[in-house]
Structure 1
Amino acid sequence: MPTIDVRAATNSAIEYLRYVQDLVGNSSMQDLRLEEAELSDDKNAWSITLGYDVNTKEVVPTLGLGSGISNPTRYRREYKVFKVNSETGEVEAMNIRKV
């Protein structure tokens, strides 16, 4: 039986992502959410998928001139998959999940 539950595994993944986010170029993460969680068959690791929005630096044109409304920013959803040790809570791997 795993020592840590899904909540603790998810918190480990979130802490790890925040710790390295400047290294992976995601300084503008928004709407961070748990997308998937799965305990391995051997019960040794959690697979935790986190999703978040990142600014694409593209601007959506607005209709009408002089409306006084700023152009909204576009966002892209990105996903990372974390392997979290079910005994220690240590993140052992982080991978990009392609959709």
Structure 2
Amino acid sequence: MIDVKTAVNAAYEYIKSIQYMMGSSLGDLRLEDVELSDDKSFWLITLGFDIPKKAPKSQLKNLIPTSLASTPVLYEREYKL
């Protein structure tokens, strides 16, 4: 079995290598949790990251001038094991 530091580094590199498949760049990539599997064969590594959240469409936005209607980008926290 590999040591935990090597496993965490491999998880980071893996998630970074597939972020293009997820449709957006990953912001604030962080290690969230590390556990050893019950049979002590694998490291279970949870990574968390922020992805842009689509703002709900509102009919009221059409009534506000575009200079005033700028909406801040919202993010959702996602987790991958």
**TM-score, normalised to structure 1's length?**
0.60
Work out the number of aligned pairs and report it: 72
Runs of 4+ residues over 6 Å off in structure 1: none
User: RMSD of aligned C-alpha atoms?
Assistant: 2.4
- Displacement of 1:58: 2.4
Question: Percent of aligned positions with the same letter in both sequences?
Answer: 49
* Structure showing the higher helix proportion among its residues: 2
Larger radius of gyration: 2
Please give the TM-score of this superposition, normalised by the length of structure 2: 0.72
Query: What are the ranges of 5 or more consecutive residues in structure 1 without an aligned counterpart?
Result: 60-67, 82-99
Q: Which amino acid aligns with 1:3?
A: I
1:30-82 Cα deviation digits (max 9, x unpaired): 111111110112221010010101011328xxxxxxxx9x642100001111x
Distance across 2 between alignment mates of 1:3 and 1:29: 26
